[in-house]
Amino acid sequence: MALLFIKTLTAQQPANPVTLPADKKIDILLKELWNAREDTNKVNTLHEIYSAYYTIKNYSAAAKYNNEACRLSKQLGYIKGEARCLVNKAYECQRDEKWEEILTYSLPAAEMLKKTDDSYTKARCVTLTGYAYHYTSICPEAIKYFLEAVMYWKKLKNDNEIIPINLRLSECLDYMGNYTLALEKSLEALDLSIKTGNKPLEALSNQSVSGSYYSLKKYQDAKVHLEEALRINLTSGDRFRFAQIQNSIAEILFIENNCVGALEHISSALKIYETPGAPFFGKQWCYALFGMVKEAQGDSSLLRNNKVYAFEYYREALKDYTTALTLCEEINNDLFLAEKYIDLGRIYRKLHNSVLARTYLQKAIPLTRELSIKILTMEGYQELSSLDSMEGNFKGAFENSKQYKIYGDSLAMEAEKGRTESFTIQAEINKKEDQIKLLAAENKLNTTLTEKRNQQKKFAYGITGIIILLSGYAFYRYRRFSRNKSEQKILRERLKISQDLHDNVGSTLSSISVFSKVAQVQGEQNNKEELQEVLGRISDTSNEMVSEMNDIVWAINPKNDSMERIIQRMESFAKPILATRNISFNLSYEPSILLAHLDMDKRKNFYLIYKEAITNAFKYSGCSKINAGISNSNRHLELTIKDNGVGFDVQREIAVDKLTLSGNGLRNMKARAEEMKGELEVNSISGEGTEIKLGFPIP
């Protein structure tokens, strides 16, 4: 909890990430303006007056002169001047924290600035754009603009502007799950802050580094950097940030099972947060941490079978969580309220007060869903499932555990997506770093040209060497980019396989778990018939899961990419199960089919569509005969499966999705066909049977 605050609160520190030009003597500038002609020089003077008024925080006067500069720039067709005006307006939006509105000014300004050589305004513009995307949680775009900003500020040799940008880059990468790269950017910020002697930014960088180590579960390293930040803030007298770090250290001590030390740090922080002028979140944060520590002490006592001490700790935790909730209600912060509702629901459950536990949890879940905070929604459903289990309501427990799993799988997929995108981000970072190196090489080359004009022969040798080095480096970068691209392709394939395993196996395991609990209850109640029925379901579900896992393993094996192997698999599946009901089966194909090869994705989808069609006919058609055929025409493979069963209403079945095989019905068959860039046609007449046709291109 505490180190989550670090990422948020460090982001709030620099109200303006870029230093505005130095203050000018306004009276002198106004005299110059009085005598100025209607030209670009007047626009530049208006900009200087704007900057002077902005520096002394006379924002209304600054806006007045910026608007005048914008009007004149448009009249003159002065693109650089108009772009500067738009960037100034974006700063006004930033001051009022209107992050989305910033983009309405900064993006057009960026397009205009492409036609100019104004590196300083370009740096300001892309930095602001990065902040706008950052504060609206669009991390990939934020990273893109922050990297461009770093390139400009390095060109301008302004390290103090790079430090906060690297801290925001670290936050974005941490949010996307790339903790290693996040740590790298935090360490870069720390090195630059030490180099420039900027103590406030050094303290912030230490906190950011600590947060990255915390995400990597390197708690001792996290604590070392927090203690260094604590030392700097103690020297500078920033007591509120000192209190924030105290709470962060408390959380690490809590993870290390040092509850006494954690409580001491929280108490120290609370004393500071109780003083006038303290941030609004401080006191409720401390009481929430108090509750967390005491709840953990209660859990520990319960594990030692000491229920008396456990319930004493739980009651103390309840008081702290209740105080935290009251403080949150005073500041009316929905995120904090949702967290406290879940905390109270959990502690009331542990105190066996089911009514109040359910009341708070049912308050929390709609709020977390409205805020789109999936991790809290998942925690809420987990608590409701535990509460239902405690009350013997296994149906409710099952339904809530399903919701818990849905949100858990969604978070896992988002994390996997973030890790996948991090490869692209890494390539983007490498690209920008290469551009910076090339810019440095270009500057060095220009200096060499100026200094050694008379040494043409030596200069020619030098430039040839530089070209060779750059060519070698470009070849190295190309090799590295190709390797990264290949790794991304492998990662996407692995991700798809893991998604299939989640889809096909996850729900089955959840069902087995719930059926096992029901079987245990039926066994305890000596209900033999119901017990046999539940055990039969467990057996059927387990067999189905094994079959589906075998299908996935078979599909990803490259030895099975020939049609000969696929046809063998098709026959070995259909004939045994159809024989149990005396259903005649025939699979015909052209000899040329055996020469075809299917890649992994098409092989998997082709076989699963066939298997699903056969299974549906076996289960529901009441047929006595099934004919299947495979043909190849102009690199277009066609599979036909026809039975003489009772038939069905195709549109109605698609609407209700009744036909299923482990959750896959007609809709899923069509989805698999679309994934193969093919078409699936289902024709059925009541009393005359069903015909399924699948067609798709092959190489």
DSSP 557-599: -GGG-BHHHHHHHHHHHHHHHHHTTT-EEEEEE-GGGGG-B--
At residue 562 the predicted structure's pLDDT band, cuts being 50, 70 and 90, is confident
**In a 3-state reduction of DSSP, which class is residue 161?**
helix
CB 152 within 8 A of CB 116: no
pLDDT band for position 478 (50/70/90)?
A: low
List, for residues 34-43, the tens digit of each pLDDT value. 888 888 898 8
CA distance 154 to 277: 38
The H helix count followed by the E strand count for the chain is 27, 5
The fraction of the chain above a pLDDT of 70, given in percent, is 75
Query: Can you point out the beta strands (E) in 466-610?
Result: 584-589
Residues 6+ apart with CB under 8 A from 407: 374, 375, 377, 378, 381
Angle between helix axes 528-556 and 507-524 (nearest 10 degrees) is 160
Measured CA to CA, the distance from residue 130 to residue 474 in angstroms comes to 28
**What's the angle, vertex CA 193, arms to CA 191 and CA 194, rounded to 5?**
65
Is the distance from CB of 600 to CB of 561 less than 8 angstroms?
yes
Render pLDDT for 175-211 as a digit per residue (tens, 0 to 9). Answer: 777 888 889 999 999 999 999 999 989 999 999 999 8
Helix/strand/coil for 80 = helix
pLDDT > 60? residue 501:
no
pLDDT given for residue 3 in this prediction? 40
Q: Decide if 624 contacts 661 (C-beta within 8 A).
A: no
Is a pLDDT exceeding 60 seen at residue 579? yes
According to DSSP, the β-strands at 625-632 and 584-589 are parallel
**Which amino acid, residue 260?**
V
As a whole number of angstroms, the distance between CA 572 and CA 9 comes to 62
Residue 651 bridge partners (DSSP): none
Question: Could you tell me the strand order of the sheet in which 625-632 lies?
Answer: 584-589, 625-632, 636-643, 689-697, 679-685
31 by Cβ neighbours in 10 Å (0-12 / 13-18 / 19+) ranks as exposed
Which has the minimum average pLDDT: 251-260, 402-411, 502-511? 502-511
Q: What is the pLDDT of residue 14?
A: 41
Residue type, 104: T
| pLDDT computed for residue 590 by the predictor | 82
Per-residue pLDDT at 491 exceeds 60: no
How many Cα atoms are found within 13 Å in the side-chain-facing hemisphere of 292? 24
At 13, give phi and psi (nearest 5°).
Answer: -70, -60
For residue 314, give the nearest of 357, 264, 275 by alpha carbon: 357
For residue 177, report the phi and psi dihedrals to the nearest 5 degrees. 90, 5
> What is the Cα–Cα distance from 698 to 554, expressed in whole angstroms?
20
Buried b (16+ CB within 10 A) or exposed e, 396-430: ebbbbbbbbbbbbbeeeeeebebebbbbebbeebe
Largest Cα–Cα separation, the chain: 104
Task: Give the confidence band of 86 by pLDDT, cuts at 50, 70, 90.
Answer: very high
CA distance 447 to 445: 5
- Under the banding of pLDDT at 50, 70 and 90, the label for residue 291 is very high
Helix (H) or strand (E) holding 333: none
With a cut of 50, say whether residue 662 has pLDDT above it.
no
Residue 13 pLDDT level (bands cut at 50, 70, 90): very low
How far from chain centre, in Å, is Cα 310?
38
Per-residue pLDDT, 20: 37
Q: Name the residue among 147, 142, 99 with its Cα closest to residue 123.
A: 147
- Using pLDDT thresholds of 50, 70 and 90, give the confidence band for residue 658: very low
Q: pLDDT tens across 514-532, in order?
A: 556 666 665 666 666 776 7
For residue 639, which of 599, 577, 668, 682 has the smallest C-alpha distance?
A: 682
Lowest mean per-residue pLDDT among 289-298, 339-348, 556-565: 556-565
| SS3 annotation, 127-143 | HHHHHHHHHCCCHHHHH
Q: What is the pLDDT of residues 430-446, one digit of tens each?
A: 666 666 566 556 656 66
Given a cut of 90, whether residue 173 has pLDDT beyond it is no
pLDDT average, residue stretch 661-672: 68
**Do 645 and 689 touch, CB atoms closer than 8 A?**
yes
Of the given ranges (169-178, 498-507, 578-587), which has the lowest mean pLDDT?
498-507
What pLDDT, in 10s, does the model give residues 90-140? 988 988 888 889 999 999 999 999 888 888 999 999 999 999 998 887 888
The rounded Cα 326 to chain-centroid distance in angstroms is: 32
Asked whether 243 and 269 are in contact (CB, 8 A), the reply is yes
* 37, containing H or E segment: none
For the chain, give the mean pLDDT. Answer: 81
**Dist. CA 576–CA 176, nearest whole Å:** 49
pLDDT at residue 181, as a whole number: 86
User: Is residue 496's pLDDT more than 90?
Assistant: no
490 falls in which pLDDT band (50, 70, 90)? low
Residue 88's closest CA among 42, 136, 55, 133? 55
Contact at 8 Å (CB) between 659 and 620? yes
Please name the residues in contact with 113: beta carbons below 8 A apart, sequence gap of 6 or more: 80, 83, 121, 122, 125
Helix (H) or strand (E) holding 691: strand 689-697
**Is the per-residue pLDDT at 383 higher than 80?**
yes
**Which range has the worst mean pLDDT, 13-27, 45-59, 138-152, 218-232?**
13-27
In this prediction, residue 261 carries a pLDDT of: 92
Contact 301, 276 (CB under 8 A): no
Q: 518 or 7, which is more confident?
A: 518
For 455-477, the pLDDT digits (tens) are 666 656 666 767 777 666 666 66
